Amino acid sequence: MQEVTRHRPRLATFRSAPLRLFAGNGNPALAHAIAAELGIEAGNMVVGRFSNGEVRVRISDNVRGTDVFVVESMASPVNEHLVELLVITDALRRASAARITAVVPHYPYARQDRKSAGREPISAKLVANLLTTAGVDRVLTMDLHAPQIQGFFDIPLDHLTSMPILAKYLEKYAGERPMVVSPDAGGVHRARLLAERLGIPVGFVDKRRPEPNVAEVVHVVGKVEGRTAILVDDMIDTGGTTAAAARALLDFGARRVVAAATHAVLSGPAIERLREAPLEEIVLTDTLPLPAGADGRYRVLSVAPLLADAIVRIHEDRSITQLFET
């Protein structure tokens, strides 16, 4: 006899259910900024560790019948915060929350979205399975490294972009003949979206990656002579790609180079590499906390208002797409 999968009952609408927000340890500053934008306080819960390192969670507030949003950005250590989100979700589900939305501004394992060689995992799909199995009903994320990750989920996923936030700030370079440049061919679509918002040309750096986290610049496609080049990417990780692209753009005649990205992963030697890179400014958002050692060239823009607006729209069953139509 075929087993029937039973889902817990869902409300037809959540407008009448109280909205609650809980903050994980991945980026508590962003979570509390979102709560402030919503005009509420983050819920009370204990998130710690047992003596052997296992995650310990206890929800202190009554969440029965509520529409819960858990903010957990996957800052380093990524695996710690991923497991933390899973355990928090399980606690909320067992406490009878009506709906659980995981607010994951930076989605983990996003670069492992396909098999590039034999016997490799598709870890981004595994993370989607873990979140769904834990009891997440919906996911809210931002600037996925690979848009096809949306298809890994059988539950609703809302995908936001920081392009309007970055574009508004980068308008200050309008008088310097700016040009948006993607650090690789794979990011041209993202660069084109920003360029269209700013009404400026777009180009890209042709590079080869002989091994993970190592980039080798081959050529610059686009006329950058005398222009301010705006390097745009979804994330800056070890900084190698950004630093190499910045030097190449100056070699090809760019006046100066500005880097802009959504996620400040900045792992390993990133801070040191970027300190030595010929960058005028490094524009990032607060989806991830900025690590120690960042110098005065860093400019951090907040995505809290955008995420708060999206949370309200999800809670009230309104369109997310309308956020980006103007």
Listed by start position, the domains of the chain span: 19-161+305-324, 163-301
- The CATH number for 163-301, chosen from 2.60.120.10, 3.40.50.2020, 3.40.50.300, 3.30.365.10, is 3.40.50.2020
Q: Is the pLDDT of residue 111 over 60?
A: yes
Per-residue confidence band for 5, with pLDDT thresholds at 50, 70 and 90: very low
**Token pair of 111 as six digits:** 């670069």
Q: What is the pLDDT of residue 275?
A: 97
Q: What is the pLDDT of residue 12?
A: 46
> Reading across the β-sheet that carries 19-23, which strands appear in turn?
19-23, 67-71, 99-104, 138-142, 157-160
Q: What is the pLDDT of residue 2?
A: 42
Give me the catalytic one of 115, 168, 172, 207.
207
Q: Are 181 and 191 in contact (CB under 8 A)?
A: yes
Q: What is the pLDDT of residue 102?
A: 98
Percent of the chain with pLDDT over 70: 92
Contacts of 219 (CB under 8 A, 6+ apart): 205, 206
Q: Can you tell me the distance from the alpha carbon of 89 to that of 195, in angstroms, rounded to the nearest whole number?
A: 39
Please state the rounded mean pLDDT for residues 71-98: 97
Please state the rounded mean pLDDT for residues 1-26: 67
Q: Can you tell me the distance from the alpha carbon of 143 to that of 181, in angstroms, rounded to the nearest whole number?
A: 17
Q: Are 187 and 204 in contact (CB under 8 A)?
A: yes
Average pLDDT, the chain: 92
Please state the rounded mean pLDDT for residues 102-128: 96
Please state the rounded mean pLDDT for residues 204-212: 74
Q: Say whether 213 sits in a helix, a strand or coil.
A: coil
**CATH topology assigned to domain 19-161+305-324:** Rossmann fold (3.40.50)
* Torsion sign, CA atoms 111, 200, 253, 206: positive
Percent of the chain with pLDDT over 90: 87
The single-letter DSSP state of residue 174 is: G
Neighbouring CB atoms inside 10 A of 121's CB total: 10
Q: What is the pLDDT of residue 219?
A: 83
Chain segment 161-184, per-residue pLDDT in tens:
999 999 999 999 999 999 999 998
Q: What is the pLDDT of residue 216?
A: 65
Per-residue confidence band for 225, with pLDDT thresholds at 50, 70 and 90: very high
Q: Is the pLDDT of residue 6 over 80?
A: no
Asked if 168 is an active-site residue, the reply is no
Q: Which of 16-20, 29-33, 67-71 has the lowest mean pLDDT?
A: 16-20
Q: What is the DSSP string of 114-174?
A: S-SSTT---HHHHHHHHHHHHT--EEEEE--SSGGGGGG-SS-EEEE--HHHHHHHHGGGG
Topology alike, domains 19-161+305-324 and 163-301: yes
Q: Can you tell me the distance from the alpha carbon of 5 to that of 183, in angstroms, rounded to the nearest whole number?
A: 46
Please state the rounded mean pLDDT for residues 265-278: 97
Q: Can you tell me the distance from the alpha carbon of 227 to that of 242, in angstroms, rounded to the nearest whole number?
A: 17
Q: What is the pLDDT of residue 185?
A: 84
Per-residue confidence band for 16, with pLDDT thresholds at 50, 70 and 90: confident
Q: Can you tell me the distance from the alpha carbon of 293 to that of 203, in angstroms, rounded to the nearest whole number?
A: 31
Direct distance between the N- and C-terminal alpha carbons of the chain, in angstroms, rounded to an integer: 53
Q: Can you tell me the distance from the alpha carbon of 166 to that of 59, in angstroms, rounded to the nearest whole number?
A: 36
Looking only at Cα atoms, what is the longest distance across the chain? 72
Full-model pTM: 0.92
